[in-house]
Structure 1
């Protein structure tokens, strides 16, 4: 069992800490210390050399590998618009370092699922995949902790899947990279590069549907050619859409559902995909993630990341670690929720007047944590005018940059102990295409875009229910819909929170 599996540390200086069996790759002035499972690729002797930490996929080029893609990036970087457009088209889980005229630029994948933390208090720039690895390497000054405030908060106690906004960390002197931003080392400041243009309303629904289908399907094909894939399936929309587009490759994959928390084999998230797959002669596996981890596993898990969710995500990771999927590439369905109107599920837009209301509608527990409130205020003051100018919804952007860029990214970081993850929806061009569609195509109750793609690629799979609701859930949903229709739902939420 390895410490800091799939993680990395980057510095120009020799660190005081050591991690056994880590590799060392040199990129210009930087040494990149990394676990064997963390892919490192780079160009050399080009005008703008590029370092890739992780993996990258170009859905428009079926046979391009990591090296091919970063070579294109290096060639396109001089023309910023061409570079940004190409970057938007890419999928994967990665951090890029680009040697610029004035220093270095660091950019993450669309949702920054490959986490990138960097120091702001020491003379020489240092960065890594987690606060914990920076601390282990001796580049964080002692006593600089927000962890005590955060760990002991009511918000953390009340939320088993608690998270901080992107940009923050548990240390005062450490920041994290925010999705759609780049970090320039000469300024030690993050700069937003997306969105750059007004969101175009997609008038041709069928064309948009075809674009989304092709991009996701070809991403899956490339990943299947490159890696030994595992595929977690549930009764949800995101998994069903991926399942329909991955149908031709399912026999190559290890398909499974997690049994965790209070789920049992009759729970819909297990019983529905099991029946769907078995009825169609595909093997379905159940991974038990309810067993207590060993002391050794717990110690390494809690050392790997700060903060961590050992009492929930850690128990699940333990089940993954001791299963057949360990060391496979996991094909995961997250990030699609960005386009599924998560904070306004009926599709009816909600006007958010200020940062306090934004917190009220998203993570009201953050209100007790001043350092988080200040971060959200800063983010809102910059992002909201841009959303209004370019036609994006601030709640969609919040979900993208903070829910996916922190909550989901943290989950994937913690589960690096057991698996690497590829998320086909983690693609800026794809998400922009989906967000450009009217909300009636991507909201409750029908999720027409999803249903139509599934129907065109595996119609029979729609014979099995998707996210079926209990009677109580149906009544609650009807009541919510009625209140939303007359504009009272948002008023009640604001009063309660």
Structure 2
């Protein structure tokens, strides 16, 4: 075993040999092994019967609290499976956080994720195990022999690649995607959201206000329980979260990673700090050694790489008692995978989806995405489909796994990752999202003065000079993205 496995888990129907530090509890016919201090909450019916458990940090955004005790689902133990399923789905639609939910009740034997799979889970039908990462399922020898080395090389994970479509680097292991549950009787993924078409909102401004209220509820729940960190940059998403956190700044410290040479993020954050009197920690970037990078890749299952694998030791400087609240998820509302030529009926093929992911058209990925497209093509228009692709394949298969390389330093909760927020975003008009209107409208509602500072650019002549530098660097950037195809 190479990773530390802090705040990781393994679930099996039989006893397993696990690394030191794991604690075991039994839930129905399943044994849950967990390492670290992730909360474990029992799940019960109204009449007090066990229904399963929830592992992780879970937020009730209706009352802005982190759940602490047993979680009660409003059903009776004698209710039908259909009634229980409906109640479970309604419950999961109204909560945020970073968690997995295990249902162990008669014919309902399932594992659910949070809305974006931020406490990510892989599984193996062959081994009968669910776990945080492949290393907890495979021994050292099979970890390498089971790896699809051709696919790993083609994806170039150390540069920018990752594994969409439920695929992992290992042939016998799959990833559970967000909005799906794992049926533990058949070991199949089953989609549970969206179940029907998502209609366009009649008022984008009203919908933006609802989204802001949900973000604020998550931030308030976190800061009511513990002090927090909020990462800030020059971008729209972090500014939007800052606006939503305005009332909680007495318990929230802003934080930014800084390099030796000042960049636009540092420049804009210093502007915000000086104008609004913000409390900002400037953390000098600490770079990982080769040994630390190697360990990080094991902790994330060799599923994702990139710059975070180089700079994650910077998080050591944080107070581990605080929760960090990154801005993951804002891209869902900003037309991230759209093309200027798209219409509501543009056909999206597996090959086209991979092109937009900047990933090669490998047959394993094409096959996985063909199955995914068959699930949603009749439910969603092209714009909604591409936004859902970001939620499930980018957040679920790229964002979630990488968190395991960082949580040993501090707990993570992502205020944007909530199914009610995603449903509202998918209901927004295409032109509204393409125009980056959502973050601006939320900032205007919550803290309009923040709009006086520009996003992602220097003001004046310095901004013109920096834009020219970016244009000159563009050809080399494009060549790096397409190399190896």
Task: State the TM-score, normalized to the length of structure 1.
Answer: 0.84
Distance in 1 between residues matched to 2:390 and 2:441, nearest whole Å: 24
RMSD over equivalenced CA pairs, Å: 3.1
Distance in 2 between residues matched to 1:347 and 1:204, nearest whole Å: 25
Q: Which residue of 2 aligns with 1:110?
A: 115
Q: Is the 8 A contact 1:50 1:71 kept in 2?
A: no
* Aligned pairs (5 A) from 1:228-267: 228-259=227-258, 263-264=259-260, 266-267=262-263
- From 318, 322, 343, the counterpart of 1:324: 318
Q: Which range moves more in the overlay, 310-319 or 207-216?
A: 310-319
SS in structure 1 of the partner of residue 37 of structure 2: coil
Q: Which residue of 2 aligns with 1:271?
A: 267
- From 416, 439, 446, the counterpart of 1:457: 446
SS in structure 2 of the partner of residue 415 of structure 1: coil
What whole-Å deviation, never above 9, does each CA across 1:80-111 have from its counterpart, x for those lacking one?
Answer: 33432332121111110012322511110111
Q: Is the 8 A contact 1:49 1:99 kept in 2?
A: yes
SS in structure 2 of the partner of residue 95 of structure 1: strand
Q: Is the 8 A contact 1:9 1:32 kept in 2?
A: yes
Q: Which residue of 2 aligns with 1:39?
A: 39
What whole-Å deviation, never above 9, does each CA across 1:328-380 have from its counterpart, x for those lacking one?
Answer: 311111112112110227695371342222222333x321x322222122222
For the pair 1:373 / 2:366, whether they are aligned, the reply is: yes
Q: Is the 8 A contact 1:166 1:177 kept in 2?
A: no
Distance 1:328 1:299, change over 3 A: farther
Q: Is the 8 A contact 2:335 2:433 kept in 1?
A: yes
* Aligned pairs (5 A) from 1:340-359: 340-344=334-338, 349=343, 351-359=346-354
Q: Which residue of 2 aligns with 1:492?
A: none
Q: Which 5+ residue runs of structure 1 have no aligned equivalent? A: 479-496
Distance 1:48 1:6, change over 3 A: same
Distance in 2 between residues matched to 1:346 and 1:111, nearest whole Å: 26
- From 401, 423, 428, the counterpart of 1:437: 428
Distance 1:230 1:353, change over 3 A: closer
Distance 1:305 1:354, change over 3 A: closer
* Aligned pairs (5 A) from 1:301-316: 301-307=296-302, 312-316=307-311
Distance 1:5 1:67, change over 3 A: same
Distance 1:146 1:21, change over 3 A: closer
SS in structure 2 of the partner of residue 104 of structure 1: strand
Distance in 1 between residues matched to 2:426 and 2:409, nearest whole Å: 33
What whole-Å deviation, never above 9, does each CA across 1:312-332 have from its counterpart, x for those lacking one?
Answer: 3222211112x0244531111
Task: State the TM-score, normalized to the length of structure 2.
Answer: 0.86
Q: Is the 8 A contact 1:366 1:373 kept in 2?
A: no
**How far 1:310 moved relative to its partner?**
6.4
**How far 1:161 moved relative to its partner?**
2.6
Q: Number of paired residues?
A: 462
For the pair 1:291 / 2:287, whether they are aligned, the reply is: yes
Distance in 2 between residues matched to 1:474 and 1:381, nearest whole Å: 42
Q: Which 5+ residue runs of structure 2 have no aligned equivalent? A: 472-484
Q: Is the 8 A contact 2:56 2:100 kept in 1?
A: yes
Distance 1:379 1:163, change over 3 A: same
Q: Which residue of 2 aligns with 1:14?
A: 15
**How far 1:237 moved relative to its partner?**
0.8
Q: Is the 8 A contact 1:317 1:417 kept in 2?
A: no
What whole-Å deviation, never above 9, does each CA across 1:143-167 have from its counterpart, x for those lacking one?
Answer: 65234223322x307x723100141
Distance in 2 between residues matched to 1:254 and 1:174, nearest whole Å: 39
**How far 1:214 moved relative to its partner?**
1.2
Distance in 1 between residues matched to 2:74 and 2:391, nearest whole Å: 24
For the pair 1:167 / 2:166, whether they are aligned, the reply is: yes
Q: Which residue of 2 aligns with 1:383?
A: 376
Distance 1:84 1:370, change over 3 A: same
Q: Which residue of 1 aligns with 2:455?
A: 466
**How far 1:40 moved relative to its partner?**
1.3
**How far 1:205 moved relative to its partner?**
2.8
Distance in 1 between residues matched to 2:34 and 2:117, nearest whole Å: 18
SS in structure 1 of the partner of residue 380 of structure 2: helix
**How far 1:58 moved relative to its partner?**
1.4
Q: Which residue of 2 aligns with 1:487?
A: none
Q: Is the 8 A contact 1:111 1:401 kept in 2?
A: yes
Distance 1:73 1:329, change over 3 A: farther
For the pair 1:419 / 2:415, whether they are aligned, the reply is: no
Distance in 2 between residues matched to 1:435 and 1:403, nearest whole Å: 16
Q: Is the 8 A contact 1:145 1:172 kept in 2?
A: yes
Q: Is the 8 A contact 1:168 1:176 kept in 2?
A: yes
SS in structure 2 of the partner of residue 149 of structure 1: helix
Q: Which residue of 2 aligns with 1:187?
A: 186
Q: Which residue of 2 aligns with 1:489?
A: none
